[in-house]
């Protein structure tokens, strides 16, 4: 098999761990597989480089900043290369530009345009382990780009797609994908398998085990994914197409996100393009809006509420108040003492009563639901932050996600 193995920052945090990664990679090679290893920067290294950048510049230039932060993965890759060579294991470490991984020029959050698999195939063919830096590429103008936080997952999946790999393994510091955060729910279940769609919704809703974009790319190219532990030999969680041997479960997981704030605008006189008027300045400023709820009243006045990252609240309020004033709308209210809970599962598509069950469970606990949005396989809701963990535990139990005794 051709396997892409991706190791995160904690897996390459120091020389001892890099040696452990090397040994694991060698084991796969000894089993007869061709291996491409994708590495993150050593834990803390990227933050340290970003700190340097912000010390020397109040608003770091994106191109120069990419040149700086790309050094972390290059360090991991070279060190693993040195270790493998010292074990007489043929290998070659490649930076994004050497593969090359071609991206657009959107420094700091570039998107991969194309990956040329030729050199990697050639090196694999000559018996080498190929080590590739995650998180980075090179633009058509020959400049170093980075993919943004968590981009190494996306690098790994995109490389697997370009190589037509048989499997892409994401090694991380947890055993796999859980039905809920173990810090909140005492005994969450480790999922053996999950669909791309569920994984995307879970990732988006705050399960930090995989970057959403990487799952999107995996789904698009049908790259078989596996999430497993760097430190233990647990088989992990497979992320696969829906029709592949998935257990029939109603809900795959419950997630909690405390990093968002809610903004609500009351009594907006409705009219053409009201929503666009509110979100245009946010889009322009690159502010991500997560949940959006709107409800037009019979009197022609509409209420709008949405959530943004807590860090974006202040600037978002400024934009929202300015638009509200122009439109003659009512009060603009903001709340940061909220949390978003998401319940994700393929089963929801065919089980109409899931939303009702959720509301009933929360009502029984006396918890007020402040906002609701739904998609085909997800229900997201906003509650007071103080109620959030209790709600997650109750939902987790009610949908039978506790670990089998």
Candidate segments 122-130, 142-150, 154-162, 341-349, binder of a second copy by CB under 8 A: 142-150
Instruction: Decide the pairing of beta strands 167-172 and 225-229.
Output: parallel
- At closest approach, how far in Å is the CB of 55 from a second copy? 6
Nearer to a second copy, 60 or 206 (CB): 60
- At closest approach, how far in Å is the CB of 23 from a second copy? 13
| Local structure of residue 8 (DSSP, 8 states) | -
Residues 38 to 97 in contact with a second copy, rule: CB under 8 A: 49, 52-53, 55-61, 63-65, 67-68, 71, 74-75, 77-79, 81-83, 85-86, 92-93, 95, 97
Would you give the distance in Å from CA 45 to the centre of its chain?
20
- At closest approach, how far in Å is the CB of 35 from a second copy? 16
Nearer to a second copy, 87 or 114 (CB): 87
| Residue-wise DSSP of 252-300 | -EEEEE-SEEEEEEEEEEP-TTHHHHHHHHHHHTTPPEEEEEEEE-TTS
Q: Cα–Cα distance between 31 and 1 in angstroms, integer?
A: 10
125 near a second copy, rule: CB under 8 A: no
Candidate segments 140-148, 206-214, 232-240, 338-346, binder of a second copy by CB under 8 A: 140-148
Nearer to a second copy, 15 or 186 (CB): 15
87 to 12, 18, 57, 297: CA distances (angstroms): 18, 13, 42, 71
Nearer to a second copy, 70 or 170 (CB): 70
Contact 210, 263 (CB under 8 A): no
Instruction: Decide the pairing of beta strands 136-139 and 101-103.
Output: parallel
143 near a second copy, rule: CB under 8 A: yes
Instruction: Decide the pairing of beta strands 301-309 and 144-146.
Output: unpaired
End-to-end Cα, the chain, rounded Å: 36
- At closest approach, how far in Å is the CB of 309 from a second copy? 25
- Which residues form the interface with a second copy (CB under 8 A)? 15, 18-19, 49, 52-53, 55-61, 63-65, 67-68, 71, 74-75, 77-79, 81-83, 85-86, 92-93, 95, 97-98, 119, 142-144
């Amino acid at each position: 098999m051709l396997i892409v193995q991706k190791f995160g920052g904690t897996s390459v945090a120091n020389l001892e761990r890099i040696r452990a990664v090397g040994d694991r990679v060698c084991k796969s090679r000894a089993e007869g597989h061709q291996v491409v290893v994708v590495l993150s920067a050593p834990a803390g290294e990227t933050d340290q480089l970003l700190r340097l950048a912000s010390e020397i510049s109040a608003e770091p230039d994106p191109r120069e900043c990419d040149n700086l932060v790309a050094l972390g993965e290059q360090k991991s890759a070279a060190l693993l290369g040195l270790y493998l060579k010292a074990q007489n294991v043929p290998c070659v470490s490649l930076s994004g530009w050497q593969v090359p991984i071609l991206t657009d020029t959107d420094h700091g959050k570039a998107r991969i345009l194309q990956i040329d698999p030729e050199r990697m195939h050639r090196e694999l063919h000559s018996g080498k382990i190929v080590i590739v830096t995650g998180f980075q590429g090179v633009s058509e103008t020959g400049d170093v780009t980075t993919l943004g936080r968590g981009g190494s997952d996306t690098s790994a999946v995109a490389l697997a797609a370009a190589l037509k790999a048989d499997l892409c393994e994401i090694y991380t510091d947890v055993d796999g994908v859980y039905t809920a955060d173990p810090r909140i729910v005492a005994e969450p279940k480790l999922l053996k398998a999950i669909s791309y769609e569920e994984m995307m919704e879970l990732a988006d809703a705050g399960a930090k085990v995989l970057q959403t974009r990487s799952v999107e790319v995996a789904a698009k190219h049908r790259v078989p994914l596996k999430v497993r532990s760097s430190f233990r030999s647990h088989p992990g969680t497979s992320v696969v197409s829906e029709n592949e041997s998935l257990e029939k479960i109603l809900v795959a997981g419950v997630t909690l996100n405390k990093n968002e704030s809610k903004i609500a605008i009351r009594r907006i006189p409705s009219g053409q393009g009201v929503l666009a008027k509110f979100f245009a300045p946010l889009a322009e400023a690159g502010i991500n809006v997560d949940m959006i709820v709107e409800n037009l009243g019979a009197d022609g006045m509409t209420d709008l509420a949405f959530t943004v990252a807590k860090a974006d609240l202040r600037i978002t309020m400024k934009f929202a108040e300015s638009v509200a004033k122009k439109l003659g709308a009512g009060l603009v209210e903001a709340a940061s003492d909220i949390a978003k809970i998401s319940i994700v599962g393929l089963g929801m598509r065919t089980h109409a009563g899931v939303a009702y069950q959720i509301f009933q469970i929360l009502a029984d606990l006396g918890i007020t639901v402040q906002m609701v949005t739904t998609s085909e396989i997800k229900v997201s809701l906003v509650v007071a932050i103080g109620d959030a963990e209790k709600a997650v535990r109750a939902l987790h139990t009610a949908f039978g996600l506790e670990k089998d005794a």
